[in-house]
Each structure stands twice: as C-alpha cells, then as structure tokens.
Amino acid sequence: MSHSSTIDRFSDLKTLYAELTATPEFRAAFGDPMPLSICEPGEDAGEHEMPEPLAAQADCGGIIAAIFDLFTGTRLEQLAPELAWGFVNSFHFVAGKLERREDALADEIGEMARSPDMSEVFTGELEQKQLLCRSTAEQREALECMRDYAAEMYRALSGWPWSPARGSKVSPASSASQIAAQDFLRQRALVARERHLPQGPVVVFSGPAQWHDWAPIWERLDQIRVRVPTMTLVTTGQRKGADAIAAAWAARPEVAVPLVAYGLYGSGSKVAFTRNRKLVELQPVEAVLCEGSGLQANLYQLLRKAGIPIHAFRKAEQAAAPGSPSVPRPRLRVAA
C-alpha cells in the first residue's frame, strides 16, 4: 500500500497516523481475534488468523471505489451503482447466513443447558458448540463491519444510501440502520434483540416514485430532527423518488437517523392501504408527505384523523427538474 502523504513538520504525523490506522470499527472486528476458533462446523478448534484491520478496511473500500473509477466517463458509467450495490449485498447476504447459523447454535446450546448431562462427552460437545457459536458471531461481526464500510463508500460515490433487497441491515457500527418493516414490528412487539429496535419517536415519510426536488425535503427533515433528535424515520420503502431522497438524508453521517423501510408485504389490491393503517398504528409524532397517488391521499386522511402533524409537499411546488435528478454526490479519495 502506497501513500501520497509527506512529513514536513511534526503536525503532519497526525494525518499520516490516521492514514495508516484502521477505524475503531475495523480494529474491534479484526484487531483482537479469539485465541482459538472454528471456521466450519465439524472442524476442530485451531489458531486461525484474521485479516489485518487496515488491509481489510482498505481493500473493502477499494473494491467499491474501483468499480466507479473504472466506469466513470465511459458508456458503462450508469451501471456502476448496480454492480457496486451487488458487492455490498454479498457481504450482507453472507452475514445473514452466519446470523441464522448463530441463532440455531444458540438454540441448541440452550436446549443442552436445560438438560445437563454430567458425562465427559456431553461437556466436550457443549464446549465445542459454544466455541463454534462464538466463532460464528466473530465472523458475522467482521462481515457486518465490511458491509457497513462498503455501504458508506457506495453512498458517498453514488449519492444514494445502500439498502438490502430483503431483510435488515443492522449492526452496532451502522450509522443509519435500515430495518425491514417486518423485523421492526416483530422486534417492537417482542423486544427480543435490542439492536434491532430503533429507539425514539417515529416520523413517517411517504411520496411517489417520481420526485426530484430533494432540497425542500432535506430542509424540512432537518427541522424535524432539531425538534426530535432521537427520531426514527419510517418510509414506504421505494428505492427511487421521494422515499430514496428521504433515505439519502437519513444515511448522511452527520444525520445518522435510523431508517425503517416499510415496503409492501403480501398480495392483493388492499395491501398498500393496509400498510397505511399500520403506519398510523406506529403512533408517529410527525409525518412528511409528498403529493402522489391515491395512496398518499389515503395516508394523509388517516394521519389527519389521528391528529398527527403533517408536512405536505405538492407536485406543483417542485423546482424545475435539474439535469441530473440525484442528490449531491460527495467524492472520496481512497489511498491505493
């Protein structure tokens, strides 16, 4: 790994040290591995190394940056976000598999603990299963760390937040957890896992898939966040238009508001209207609606009937469509 920084005075050491040091999230996930671990079920415990934290961080971000750098200015430029999204999703998919394996192992350990056997074989099996569960958790945390960093690179380079095609994106290091509605409701009811439950009052957001004027929406959400600093933003889960603008606002590091993508679940003509009722049942403290179809009109009526303050934007009030409909795209420079 090469670095362009030079040391001309003592104060430059801080900058160089930052470039040569992994973030706290990567140091926590990769820097202090367990002495013994089990890489695959059925294997014996062994001393297996973890990737070096700085290398893991640099290569993880470099994968995403390389896609945009390669395609920028070519006829393939518009495909870069789709390809980069898939790389981030790969980390998310494998982390999800590990989480399910971890949960299954935890259930098995719980069953064994409830029916203890004093034999040496039972004790050895229980210890092996506990180590496998801890090893799996360590693997999951490492991949979640890489996913979150790759997702932030994706946001910085594409201008839009990354969100999974299905399931939830949650980890202690996430700056803006994107939580699938079914997970959100289940955890809100059961509180089975505290890290899946966004704390704070709910602010509902909904708008059509065709919407380009992002600035007034960001300004209004900023104003709401001043009043409700612990807010959770719940959108109707569309990956473009007004919902995507709101998601981009929530994903900015200086905002870092938990985001619940409340998509459509089920089939039939009444699914969307049922979702509207469930959004109101979340008892939001405020709502932001952009004029769209009858679904937005129905949600407006339900929220108004419930006495919830509504911030409404009309289509006619939008500024003229810009040449590029995306929000501002900050660029990152990644040391090679």
Share of the chain above pLDDT 90, in %: 35
What one-letter code names the amino acid at 136?
Answer: T
Least confident piece of the model among 45-54, 115-124, 203-212: 115-124
Give the pLDDT mean for 181-196. Answer: 46
Distance between CA 151 and CA 170 in Å, rounded? 12
Which residue would you say has higher pLDDT here, 84 or 273?
Answer: 84
Return the structure tokens found at 240.
Answer: 């473009």
pLDDT at 68: 93
Q: What's the pLDDT score for residue 84?
A: 94
Residue 66 has pLDDT above 60, yes or no: yes
Is pLDDT of 115 > 60?
A: yes
Of the candidates 62, 234, 262, 248, the residue with the CA atom closest to the CA atom of residue 162: 248
Two tokens, residue 172: 């202690």
The answer to whether residue 17 scores a pLDDT higher than 50 is no
Cβ burial of 167 (10 Å; 0-12, 13-18, 19+) is middle
* DSSP strand pairing (178-180 vs 259-261): parallel
Q: Judge whether residue 110 has pLDDT over 90.
A: no
Return the minimum-mean-pLDDT range out of 126-135, 212-221, 260-269, 278-287.
260-269
What local confidence, expressed as pLDDT, does residue 13 receive?
41
| Cα–Cα nearest to 236, from 285, 286, 180 | 180
User: Would you kindly state where each structural domain of the chain is located, as residue ranges?
Assistant: 12-158, 178-317
The token duo for 192 is: 């089975």
Contact criterion met (CB below 8 Å) for 196 and 170 = yes
Query: Of 42-51, 125-134, 192-201, 233-242, which range is least confident?
Result: 192-201
* Amino acid occupying residue 233: L
pLDDT value at residue 19:
54
Q: CA 29 to CA 265: how far, in whole Å?
A: 34
Lookup result for tokens 């934007």: 313
Pairing of strands 310-313, 286-290: parallel
Per-residue pLDDT band at 269 (split at 50, 70, 90): low
Kindly report, residue by residue over 135-153, the tens digit of the pLDDT.
Answer: 998 999 999 999 989 988 9
Give the pLDDT score at 170.
58
Does residue 287 have a pLDDT over 70?
yes
pLDDT on residue 20: 57
- In terms of Cα–Cα distance, which of 231, 64, 239 is closest to 147? 64
Q: Give the list of residues 6+ apart from residue 19 with CB closer than 8 angstroms, or none.
A: 3, 5, 335
The answer to which of 153-162, 170-179, 280-289 has the lowest mean pLDDT is: 170-179
Q: Please choose, from the candidates 146, 144, 150, the residue with its C-alpha nearest in 3D space to the C-alpha of residue 162.
A: 150
| pLDDT band per the 50, 70, 90 thresholds, residue 209 | confident
pLDDT confidence of residue 121:
82
Contacts with 101 (C-beta within 8 Å, 6 or more apart), sequence order: 41, 136
Average pLDDT, the chain: 79
Residues 2-8, mean pLDDT to the nearest whole number: 44
How many whole angstroms separate alpha carbon 50 and alpha carbon 10? 33
- Supply the pLDDT for residue 278: 87
| Residue 159 zone, left/alpha/beta (φ > 0; ψ -120 to 50; rest) | left
**Is 2 a residue whose pLDDT tops 80?**
no
pLDDT at 268 over 70: no
Whose structure tokens read 């940056």?
65
Residues 9-33 have a mean pLDDT of 67
How would CATH label the architecture of 178-317?
3-Layer(aba) Sandwich (3.40)
Determine the pLDDT at residue 252. Answer: 83
Contact between residue 150 and residue 60 where contact means Cβ atoms under 8 Å apart: yes
